[in-house]
Structure 1
Amino acid sequence: MTDHFPPPVPPDSSLVFHDDDVLAAKATRRKTFVVLGVVCSLVVGGLVGSQFASSDSPSLGTSTQPITTAVRTDDDEPAIDVAAVLETITPSVVTIISNLDDGQATGTGVVISSDGEILTNAHVVESAESVSVMFVDSLNPVSAQVLAIDMGNDLALLRVDLSGLLPVVFADVTSIDIGDDVVAVGFALNLDGGPTVTRGIVSALNRTITSGDGALDGLIQTDTAISSGNSGGPLLNTSGQVIGINTAVFKSSTDVAANNVGFSISVSEVLPVIAALRSLANGATRTEGYLGVTVLNRDDGGRGAVIGDVSPDSPADLAGMIAGDIVIEADGSPVDGQLALVAAIRDRSPGDTIAVDVLRNDKRMTLSATLTERPVQ
């Protein structure tokens, strides 16, 4: 049995992730996961982002091993050797098999510790009754325990009862630049055989998109082909180091084309979430911070998030925010739209103080809000 924190306030129906095009990979009612998104206007009924879960089944426990990260060098980025990158990562990439009440679904995961921890997307395992993983060189799946899930950040921590595994190496976040060559590896479409490898570049950094449980921020945008089944798989640099976890591809609900627009959760977001998932799995609790506003995108094309309603006596109200304020910065980070503000609040806890810069009648001011717990509805 799994305990869940209260879910965030859902977005309005004009902003949806369409998964009706997910391909059935096997005749045995298997399906592969993909998060498909439309980025447009959103009204959020209060800023709260993540939904958390931890298993209360007998636990394998979390690893005590540190996550392996690379140290940035000043050397020029080497020319990409896709075959070499694939050879490096293949032992550390697994197929995630989620057994559902109506069939089976698959995604991708990466080994993050030699004693059995595996990271994948939360949406790959959230509805699973049981989970197993397949290593590339194995004949049979291995049972896996879901230790903890963070729906807001779309990451989940699993563990298998194995040792001697080869963990991935996470890149230094400061080494990631727009235009870098990258490779995506995963079990696209749940095709038979080994993983699928595709090549592209880093198209943009620090993107923010919506998900079914709030907003994902700090994303890497890439033109690397990412398909159903790639969810939870790695985006890699020329050295075979993980720079992101593939999570979404853009799909318009209209006839507007959106080719090769994929998103990966950056290592800058992944590493602190791993630490939080380990803590959650070990019995720690987490309560979301609450600001107490609704936010909208500007309708004039400008940057910033417009404050709609402000709940009476909420942190936003006590900080002096009023309807019509345009939030342009949160704790020093630019707020280009409502999603960025949602994401800025999401990972904070009650008691945290956040500096919010707003425009009011064309005058800039900085307001300080101390977050609280979300009131019981």
Structure 2
Amino acid sequence: MTTLPPPAPGITPAPPAPPAHRPKGRAVVLVVVIGIVAWVAGLAGALLGGEVSDWLDKPPSRSSDEPINVAAPRGEIEQRVDVGEVVKYITPSVVTISADVEGGQSLGTGVIISSDGEILTNAHVVQDATAVRVRLAGESEPRDVTVLAADPGNDLALLRMSGDGFEAATFADPTSIRLGDEVVAIGFALGLDGEPSVTLGIVSALNRTIGTEGAFLDGLIQTDAAISSGNSGGPLVNAAGEVVGINTAVARDTAVTAATNVSFAISAAEALPIIEILRSQVEGDARDQAYLGVELDDRRDGGQGAVVVSVQEGTPAAEFGLEAGDLILAVDGAATDGSTGLIAAIRDLAPGDLTTLTVVRNGDELTIDVELTVRPDS
């Protein structure tokens, strides 16, 4: 089951999304980690992927032409974290975000990625906002920002504040992160005043795929560093203070104990190309999302693949012969990890791409070539 964080006491939340069937183990709730000051129904409403946001109209309204700081590949580095030094290094590049939404505020964290004021955060932090403000470490007064572009399907958004001379974070070489590396999660947990909260953990797993409200995310880093409401959009950093991921979600078992400290961050490998896509959107080159046209479910036996529940008329799935009851095992030879894995694989393709699906139908395995189209508006 997927849901947003719990509302403030006494406020009734919007109904959660229908639960996905999970045949093995306990049900796990995946929670995006915005802080909710006052709940509003519809905060989780999905935006059209790949379109430039018109939520706000405050200058500056163009993206930066400054390249993102990415560390050069290097040999073995010290993986033990000096937390104090890491915090001192990264804190000037971390901001707290307050977004006005109907009936209240959502709170999150952001990372400064250019000296002229670009900020990266999760799309769900600023979704449906009528005004967004940020506060830098050491400052008492918030700054207004513009939401330049958002990609809800990848749960990333690009903001910009006025001014220059800001300290931009450095992203780690995407190939450098390894299982067992110590990492630090930094963010404004629970929207508390003062300096950001800091938690230490390790990289527990790589290339995870999860579903949250409005997004199916893949290529994620799993960590046991504790992440709380308000941490969304904050950096997960390595021993050198370099950003290896953007904190996004936390898993909670319905029995409370089984999913302790299972948190997820969008990896640098995923985030860096999305930043450039968002920048191109700001300049008018909107990114269209690929579309197949099927309703999916997971297998009841917990095996590989995704089950086609229905096929929508007039879609690539219908045109190229997919049928209800088909079991899709792979996309272009890469195995699909349930419905979330298949959706993530299609999302990573582009309209017009010809993709090969490995399908089991009535016990027979076959391949179906499908030309994807543009995702419709609704």
Identify the TM-score tier after normalising by the shorter chain. 0.7 to 0.9
- Paired residue type of 1:135: L
Q: Which residue number corresponds to residue 352 of structure 1?
A: 353
C-alpha distance in structure 1 between counterparts of 2:100 and 2:366, whole Å: 52
C-alpha distance in structure 1 between counterparts of 2:189 and 2:309, whole Å: 41
Q: Which digits, 9 at most, give the CA deviation of each residue in 1:277-301, with x for residues without a partner?
A: 1122222233322211121111112
Q: Which residue number corresponds to residue 6 of structure 1?
A: none
C-alpha distance in structure 2 between counterparts of 1:303 and 1:213, whole Å: 23
* TM-score normalized by the length of structure 2: 0.84
Q: Is the 8 A contact 2:188 2:231 kept in 1?
A: yes
Tell me how far 1:50 sits from its aligned partner: 3.4
Does residue 1:50 correspond to 2:36, yes or no?
A: no
Q: Secondary structure at the match of 1:54?
A: coil
Q: Is the 8 A contact 1:52 1:151 kept in 2?
A: no
Tell me how far 1:335 sits from its aligned partner: 0.7
Q: Is the 8 A contact 2:58 2:145 kept in 1?
A: no
Q: Which residue number corresponds to residue 6 of structure 2?
A: 20
Q: What runs of 5+ residues in structure 1 fail to find an aligned partner?
A: 1-14, 30-35, 43-47
For the structure 1 residues 157 and 374, does the alpha-carbon distance in structure 2 shift closer, same or farther, using more than 3 Å as the test? Answer: closer
C-alpha distance in structure 1 between counterparts of 2:358 and 2:48, whole Å: 20
C-alpha distance in structure 2 between counterparts of 1:96 and 1:53, whole Å: 20
Does residue 1:308 correspond to 2:314, yes or no?
A: no
Q: Which residue number corresponds to residue 39 of structure 2?
A: none
For 1:142-153, what aligned pairs fall within 5 Å after superposition?
142-153=143-154
C-alpha distance in structure 1 between counterparts of 2:266 and 2:141, whole Å: 30
* TM-score normalized by the length of structure 1: 0.84
Q: Which digits, 9 at most, give the CA deviation of each residue in 1:108-141, with x for residues without a partner?
A: 0000001110011111111321111111022311
Q: Is the 8 A contact 1:292 1:314 kept in 2?
A: yes
Q: Is the 8 A contact 1:185 1:230 kept in 2?
A: yes
Over aligned residue pairs, what C-alpha RMSD do you find?
A: 2.7
- Paired residue type of 1:57: D
C-alpha distance in structure 1 between counterparts of 2:48 and 2:130, whole Å: 25
- Paired residue type of 2:237: L
C-alpha distance in structure 1 between counterparts of 2:199 and 2:17, whole Å: 21
Does residue 1:282 correspond to 2:303, yes or no?
A: no
For 1:216-295, what aligned pairs fall within 5 Å after superposition?
216-253=217-254, 257-295=258-296
Determine what percentage of the aligned residue pairs are the same residue: 48
Q: Is the 8 A contact 1:97 1:133 kept in 2?
A: yes
Q: Is the 8 A contact 1:49 1:347 kept in 2?
A: no
Equivalent pairs counted in the alignment come to 348
For 1:164-203, what aligned pairs fall within 5 Å after superposition?
164-203=165-204
C-alpha distance in structure 2 between counterparts of 1:200 and 1:22, whole Å: 28
- Paired residue type of 1:137: G
C-alpha distance in structure 2 between counterparts of 1:64 and 1:197, whole Å: 31
C-alpha distance in structure 1 between counterparts of 2:366 and 2:291, whole Å: 21
C-alpha distance in structure 2 between counterparts of 1:256 and 1:71, whole Å: 40
C-alpha distance in structure 2 between counterparts of 1:19 and 1:78, whole Å: 32
Tell me how far 1:37 sits from its aligned partner: 10
- Once the two structures are overlaid, the 10-residue window that deviates more, 113-122 or 210-219, is 210-219
